[in-house]
Amino acid sequence: MSVIHVLDEVLANKIAAGEVVERCSSVVKELVENSIDAESTEIKVELLESGTKEIKVIDNGKGMEEEDAVLAFSRHATSKILREEDLYRIGTLGFRGEALASIASVSKVTLSTSTGHIGTVVHLEGGKLISQEKGDSRKGTILTVQDLFYNTPARLKHLKSLYTELSNITEYMHKLALSHPEIRFTLTNDGKEILKTDGSGNLLKVIHFLYGASLARKMIPIHASNTDYEIEGYISLPEIHRANRNAMMTFVNGRIVRNAELNHWMKEGYHSYQPENRYPIVVLNIHVDTSIVDVNIHPTKMDIKFGKQEELNELVYRTIQDAWKPKTLIPHIEEEPTSLEEPAVTQHYENMTLSLDTVAEQEETYEIPEESYVVQEELAQIEEPVEIHEDVEEKLPPLYPVGLVHGTYIVCQNDKGMYLIDQHAAKERVNYEKVRSKLLHPKKESISLLVPITLEYPANEFIILKENFDLLREMNFEIEEFGLNSVIIKAHPVWIPTDYTEDNIKKILETVIYQEKNFDLARFYDLVSATAACKMSIKANTNITLEEMEHLIQDLRQCENPFHCPHGRPTVIYYSKQDLEKLFKRSGF
C-alpha cells in the first residue's frame, strides 16, 4: 500500500504560512505590498490590539473583478507573472502567489473589492470559502484579517507582546513610507494614529515626518550612477549613528531588501568617521534593470542577489566617501527644545517609547510627530538642502586656544563661537595620517633593536603570520622564524616610537592574523596606523602648554579629515555664539 500521498491544499497552505506569515508584521507587509502593486496612491492600515485581533488594509488601487477575488486565495494564483522568463524580469513587489492563501489558512479573512463597478465581498475561515456576495462600487480593496493563528495554537502562543508586535509593524511601515514617498500612508492602532505621510513624493519630508526635524536637518542627499546602477537617497552626518544596522535601509526599484554585502560597504563608507561598533542612518534607493537582480531567493522576497555586485559596492562606497570630502563635519551642540506633546505611540503605551532600531534600544528613540503639531515653518525649512559649511582651502577654521579642562579638552574660540577639542582624539588623528602616509610611501628606514623581541603563537596563527612575512618586511620589519611556532623581530619601522615598541609590534602582528580571511592591504594599513597612533598620542588627564595646544591645532588643521579620530570619535565640537547666549538666557527674552 502506498505511503506517499498529495497533501490537502489547506494543509499545504498552512505549511507555506510558516515561511510567509511569521508574525503580524508579515501580514501587514504582504497586504500593503499588494496594495502598492495595485497602483494605490493612498493606503491605510488599521490595527486592533497591535494586529493580533484585527488587521485591516484599505487602498484606492485598481481593485479586482468577482472571479479574481475568489481565485486570489488559491495557492500560486497571481496576476504578476505568467511565463518562466517573467521570473527574470520581476517588476512588482509580489509575484509568488502564496501570500493570500497562506494568510487565509491561519486566520479569518474578509475581502471587499471593486474596480469601480459592482463590488465583491468574500469571507474565508481557515482557508475555506464561507460566503461570496455583491459589494459596493467603491474602487479599491479592503482586506480584513481577524484572529490571526486562531487555528494554529503553537504559532499563536509564540506571538510577542502587543508592544513588540506594534513595534515591528511600525518599523516596517516606516520603511514602506521611505521606499514610496509618493504614497499616502496611514497607520492606526486601536484608533490612535501612529503614522501619517502626505504622499508628496518628497523623501526628506518623509524622513522629517518619521524621525523629526533635528535628525532630518542632519541628512545629506546623495546621487550617483554607473552603467548599470543609479543610486539616490539620504545619508546621516557621521555624528548620527545607531547601535545596530536596522537604520541602514536599502530599496531596489521600490522593494525593501536585505543584502549583507551592501550593508558592509555602506558602513565602510563611514570608516574612521564613526566608531566601529556604531552604524549610520542610510536611506538608499537603487534603480536598476530588473534583469540584473534576482529577488526569487526566499518567500519573504527581501533577500536579493545583484548582478555585478562589486560595481554596485564600489559605487555606494565612493558616493558616501565623496560626500564627506568637502564638508566641515564639526558637531554643532544645540540647546534641546522642550517637547510640549508626546508622540502617538508613547500616548498609547504609557512609559514605553517606540524605537526604529529594536525594542531593546530604548535610549535611542525616534519620535513620530503627529501631523497636527508639525509646524509648517519647520517643514518649509526641512525641504531646503541640508546646510553644511564648505571650505575647499581649509576644512577646520582657525581656532585660538584659551585653556584646558580636566587635562583633556582644549577650549578654543573664534568669531563664530566656542570649540572644544579632545586632545587625545586630535593627536590620534594627526599621528594616524602621518603613519599611514609613511606606510603608503615607504622608505627603507628601520631601527635595529638592541634586544630582539621573541613572540610565540598557536600553530594556526603562526601559519598565517609566516605567510605574511613578505608584507611585514616591505613595511621594514626584520622578522624571521625562530623555533617552533615562534618569531623573532630584530628591527622595526622608524615610525614606531621606541617608548611603545613591543606593544605596537604585538598589535600589528595580531592585525595581520585577524585580517587573514578577508585581507585588504589598504584596510590593513588603516588598522596598523590607528593602532600605532593611539599608542603615540597624548593621554587624557595630561596637562599641556598653550604653545603645545597651538601646535596640535595647527597639525590638526592640516589633516585630510580633522573631524574624527581613526576610531570615528569626534575631535572637535562646536557651540555657536547664539547657542551660548541662549544657554545663559542672554537672548530670546
- 18-35 average pLDDT score: 82
Which cell numbers hold the place of 90? Answer: 520581476
Read off the pLDDT of each residue in 170-181 and give the average, rounded to a whole number: 93
Please, which pLDDT band fits residue 90 given cuts at 50, 70 and 90?
A: low
- Gyration radius of the chain's alpha carbons: 29
Q: What is the mean pLDDT of residues 432-445?
A: 77
Give the side-chain half-sphere CA count within 13 A for 415: 0
Helices (H), 38-77: 66-71
Q: What is the DSSP letter of 50?
A: G
Per-residue pLDDT at 94: 55
CA distances, 445 to each of 430, 439, 493, 496, 504 (Å): 21, 11, 6, 11, 17
Quick one: 25 exposed, middle or buried, by C-beta within 10 A (0-12, 13-18, 19+)? buried
Q: Output the pLDDT for position 400.
A: 92
- Residue 538: the pLDDT is 67
CA separation for the pair 52, 204 (Å, rounded): 32
Q: Which three cell numbers stand for residue 485?
A: 611556532
Query: How far are the Cα atoms of 207, 320, 404, 414, 501 from residue 226, in angstroms, in the given order?
Result: 26, 15, 49, 43, 46
pLDDT above 60 (res 344): no
Query: Across the beta sheet with 478-481, what order do the strands follow?
Result: 446-456, 486-493, 478-481
| Order of all β-strands in the sheet with 140-146 | 128-135, 119-125, 108-114, 140-146, 54-59, 42-48, 184-189, 192-196
Task: Say what the pLDDT of residue 89 is.
Answer: 57
Residue 78's pLDDT is 60
The 3-class SS string of 275-314 reads: CCCCECCEEEEEEECHHHEECCCCCCCCECEECCHHHHHH
SS3 250: strand
pLDDT band per the 50, 70, 90 thresholds, residue 296: low
Q: What is the pLDDT of residues 548-577, one digit of tens each?
A: 999 999 999 988 888 888 888 889 998 888
d(CA 129, CA 72): 12
- Average pLDDT value for residue range 188-211: 92
Q: What is the mean pLDDT of residues 474-497?
A: 86
Mean pLDDT over residues 50-71, rounded?
89
Domain ranges of the chain: 9-159, 203-324, 394-589
CATH architecture type of domain 203-324:
2-Layer Sandwich (3.30)
Which of 23-27, 85-89, 384-388 is modeled with the greatest confidence?
A: 23-27
Q: Where are the alpha helices (DSSP H) in 295-450?
A: 309-324, 344-348, 376-382, 423-440
Tell me how far apart the alpha carbons of residues 567 and 30 are, in angstroms, rounded to a whole number: 41
pLDDT tens-digit readout, 361-420: 433 333 333 333 333 444 445 444 444 444 434 678 899 999 999 888 999 999 989 999
Residues of the chain with pLDDT > 90, as a percent, come to: 28
What pairs with residue 413 in β-bridges?
Answer: 400, 418
| Beta carbons of 435 and 529 less than 8 angstroms apart | yes
> What is the pairing mode between strands 184-189 and 42-48?
parallel
pLDDT band of residue 447 (cuts 50, 70, 90) is: confident
Confidence of residue 484 (pLDDT cuts 50, 70, 90): confident
12 has pLDDT over 80: no
The pLDDT > 70 percentage for the chain reads: 75
> What average pLDDT score do residues 320-349 get?
60
> In the predicted model, what is the mean pLDDT of the chain?
78
- Of 345-354, 488-497, 534-543, highest mean pLDDT: 488-497
Helix 260-268 to helix 309-324 angle (10° resolution) is 30
Q: How many angstroms separate the CA atoms of 559 and 434, rounded?
A: 9
**pLDDT (0 to 100) of residue 81:** 46
User: pTM for this structure?
Assistant: 0.68
Residues 190-212, mean pLDDT to the nearest whole number: 91
The fold adopted by the segment(s) 394-589 is formyl-coa transferase, domain 3 (3.30.1540)
Q: Tell me the pLDDT band of 300, cut-offs 50, 70 and 90.
A: low
For residue 238, give the nearest of 526, 579, 572, 584 by alpha carbon.
572
Whether residue 86 is predicted with pLDDT greater than 80 in this model: the reply is: no
pLDDT of residue 5: 52
Mean pLDDT, rounded, for 259-275: 86
Q: 2: pLDDT confidence band, cut at 50, 70 and 90?
A: low
Phi, psi (degrees; rounded to nearest 5) at 166: -65, -40
According to CATH, the topology of domain 9-159 is: Heat Shock Protein 90 (3.30.565)
For 517, which DSSP code? Answer: T
Q: Given this model, what pLDDT does residue 351 score?
A: 37
